[in-house]
Structure 1
Amino acid sequence: MAIKRSTITWLVIGAVVLILILTGVGSYNGLVSSETAVDNKLSQIDVDLQRRADLIPNLVNTVKGYAAHEKEVIASIAKARAQLNAAGTPQEKADADQQLTGALSRLLVVVENYPDLKADQQFTRLTDELAGTENRISVARRDYNEAVTGYNTKIRKFPASLYASIFGFDKKELFKAKEGAETVPEVNF
């Protein structure tokens, strides 16, 4: 009888260990998948921001031909674009993106003073591409934030939270708009 009881005890211990190992492997793989999805979504934001940054010089050059004396607006776009290209963290990107968006808004206000520019086919094409890119950026931000929210939730739930702390899975930062971004910037010329 003692042999059977000892065998049963070892089988139970073995089953518990096996369950812990399988749970750990499943949790680890799920965390890796979620973290990879977050990184992918952030990369997509970078791609869309780069697309916009690449469109801006063409747009600015088109406007320069019509509005050469609007140097301050054009300089603010160049500065904001450089800040965006140098941004590293999601929050730095969000802040730089907000600056660039404001500068582009001021540029589009300047355009209102130049009816010939608004009729220019290249300018129209570039503004259409820019509008499409802005939509892509918005969707990419939303997708990134959804992936981050899912990942951050996963690393806080039991038992994945145990494995997240053991294997160093840290909370990810959401892509947030700069404080006050909901207000329209005032433009004075």
Structure 2
Amino acid sequence: MERYLCRQGNVLDSFARKALWDVGLDYAHGTGHGVGHCLNVHEGPAGVSWRPYPHDPGLRPGQILSNEPGFYKVGEYGIRHEDLVETVAITKGSKHPRASNLRGDLDGRGVLGFNTLTLVPNQRECIDLALLDDFELAYINSYHSRVLKTLGPVLQSRGLVEDYKWLQEQCAPIVRGSTRHQNGGGQQ
């Protein structure tokens, strides 16, 4: 059996919450859970939560998990971003966005990452470019490119011209300072 640096999902939960914790905020649910092990939705054997999953065998390549961080302002609104992700092994030569930053194999323990399976464009109006670093913006643009390359041909083959045009608009690269992208706050 292969060994990986971070085996238990509850260890990752802290990393997912860090940006909110840095400003004194949190969300009151787990960050993710297993999907499809026994054709259920919320299930193990692994998950990403502040509390450990009972009998968690640890994260392994091929597992499908939800990734659903959120923020809720009591009495006003709530935001939850939810995707399904596949746990993948990352090597220096893999196509994963973080692969080029690897500095070895961590003493033979290996590195795991996630590949997003959900193919829906992010809502552009909700993206505040001032909060994104260059890697994060490139990641969103790469994801949108993959969404368009995967779903565009399906829409075209079905003659869904208007849907394809909408998808093209939503998946167009987001560029800092561009008038094509306005976030909810009107900043660029």
TM over 0.5: no
Kindly indicate which of the two structures has a greater share of residues assigned to strand. 2
- Shorter-normalised TM-score: what interval? under 0.3
Normalised by the length of structure 1, the TM-score is 0.23
Which structure has more RCO (C-alpha within 8 Å, separation ≥ 6)? 1
Structure ID, larger Rg: 1
